[in-house]
Structure 1
Amino acid sequence: MVIEDDINLAELLKYELMDSGFHVSYFKSGRKAFQKLKSSPPDAIVQDILLEEGEMDGWAILRELKGSADLNEIPVFVSTALDEREKGISLGAKDYLVKPYKPSQLSKVIMHTLLTNGKQGQILIPQAFHGENKG
């Protein structure tokens, strides 16, 4: 799940993650994303901190997730322009990436985390990730 109010960046992240084999849902609104993840928890969340004014911001989402017995195991990856890594990690973020960064960095961090955690859900790994060539 990607929670990002900048539609251009959200599309970039979505396609990078899809190219890496992930199924991706996208939300511009923190509130709508939180409602969805309560009914259908994702394997991982990529979220911005600064979301639309008046919305549930990334800090609030992180606090709610980590305070919920049902959702606190979902790894959260912060993707933001705010350089507040310590705060993000202390609130429970698995990793904290400060923009700008290479989109491939995000998919590698998520893949590593899910494989390390022994995630049992379906993770589609494209042949290119294994170094295999189509032919």
Structure 2
Amino acid sequence: MIVSKLRHTILIAEDDIRTRTALVNSLTASGYQVIAAVDGQEALQYFHTDSNTIDLVVLDVLMPKLDGFQVCQRLRTISDVPIIMATVLGSSSDRVTGLEMGANDYIVKPFSTKELIARIRSILRRVTKRQDPVLSEVQRSAIKIGQLVIDPATRRAYIDGHYLGLTEIEFRLIELLASRPGHIFSRGDILEALWGYDASSAADTKTVDVHISRLRIKLNETTHNPKYIVTIRGRGYMFLVQR
């Protein structure tokens, strides 16, 4: 295990020693504390040991013992820690698999460490902002639309009193859409708001579609029978105005 010293703690899981060393050096130089695992199994062991201090996880997809998808899936059963998948698998289906497992973001190899650090900073800024105790009453007040209640203070959502069990990304997505019923959010708008970057490929926009699909399942609705979220063909998504 390699550990440095400063503020946020990043757990990386990467079996290639050259890539792992480069990531540790770059992240440490950028002011992060780093825990480096050589495979998926070791990553889980480190997380169970230091789960209260780990702020973000970077997972290589192709690793021995447990691959990145398996690690991501297991982490999601115990934690909402932000996860970035690093993959050489360039197809949309592979990236979608990571998102379906609960990853917050993905980055395709080979990538520059500057790009990875930019994504890490973007995610951690959002997490830090959400944890800031000095929030306005508007930020804390619940959004109530029909039987749906979205509570920013607790990061929970309910329909008719039933807890929906949304992931952090799903909660932020419904919070965004419900903040402006009747407004059409493009996929680019959603990417910018939730991940902090613009769409540069079809795979990026697919990220949004995957999370919308998962959110709809929890809202007990379908594309053809929307109760809350409607697809505006060629434009994006809109939260229905409840009457």
Out of 14, 17, 41, the position equivalent to 2:27 is 17
| CA RMSD between the two structures | 1.3
Q: TM-score when scaled to structure 2?
A: 0.46
Letter in structure 2 aligned against 1:80 = T
Structure 2 CA distance for aligned equivalents of residues 35 and 4 of structure 1: 14
Structure 2 CA distance for aligned equivalents of residues 32 and 117 of structure 1: 25
Q: TM-score when scaled to structure 1?
A: 0.80
Higher RCO by CA contacts (8 Å cutoff, separation 6 or greater): 1
Structure 1 CA distance for aligned equivalents of residues 43 and 96 of structure 2: 24
The residue aligned with 1:112 is: 122
Structure 1 residue runs of 4 or more that deviate by more than 2 Å after TM superposition: none
- In the TM superposition, what is the alpha-carbon distance from 1:114 to its structure 2 partner? 0.6
Out of 4, 7, 16, the position equivalent to 1:6 is 16
Identity of matched residues, %:
31
The residue aligned with 2:113 is: 103
Structure 2 CA distance for aligned equivalents of residues 85 and 31 of structure 1: 21
DSSP-derived class of the 1:2 partner: strand
Structure 2 CA distance for aligned equivalents of residues 9 and 33 of structure 1: 16
The residue aligned with 1:27 is: 37
Letter in structure 1 aligned against 2:18 = N
Structure 1 CA distance for aligned equivalents of residues 30 and 39 of structure 2: 24
1:66-92 residue CA offsets vs partner (Å, 9 max, x unmatched): 122xx2x11111112112211111211
1:8-48 residue CA offsets vs partner (Å, 9 max, x unmatched): 00111111111211100111021122012012121111110
Structure 2 CA distance for aligned equivalents of residues 13 and 93 of structure 1: 19
The answer to whether residue 101 in structure 2 is matched with residue 91 in structure 1 is yes
The answer to whether residue 61 in structure 2 is matched with residue 49 in structure 1 is yes
Structure 1 CA distance for aligned equivalents of residues 81 and 29 of structure 2: 22
The structure that has the greater radius of gyration is 2
Letter in structure 2 aligned against 1:101 = F
Structure 2 CA distance for aligned equivalents of residues 29 and 99 of structure 1: 17
Letter in structure 1 aligned against 2:45 = Q
The residue aligned with 1:76 is: 83
Structure 2 CA distance for aligned equivalents of residues 113 and 60 of structure 1: 22
Query: For this pair of structures, how many residues does the alignment match?
Result: 115
Out of 50, 60, 70, the position equivalent to 1:60 is 70
Letter in structure 1 aligned against 2:123 = T
Q: Which runs of 5+ in 2 are unaligned?
A: 1-10, 132-243
DSSP-derived class of the 2:33 partner: coil
Letter in structure 1 aligned against 2:58 = V
- In the TM superposition, what is the alpha-carbon distance from 1:104 to its structure 2 partner? 0.6
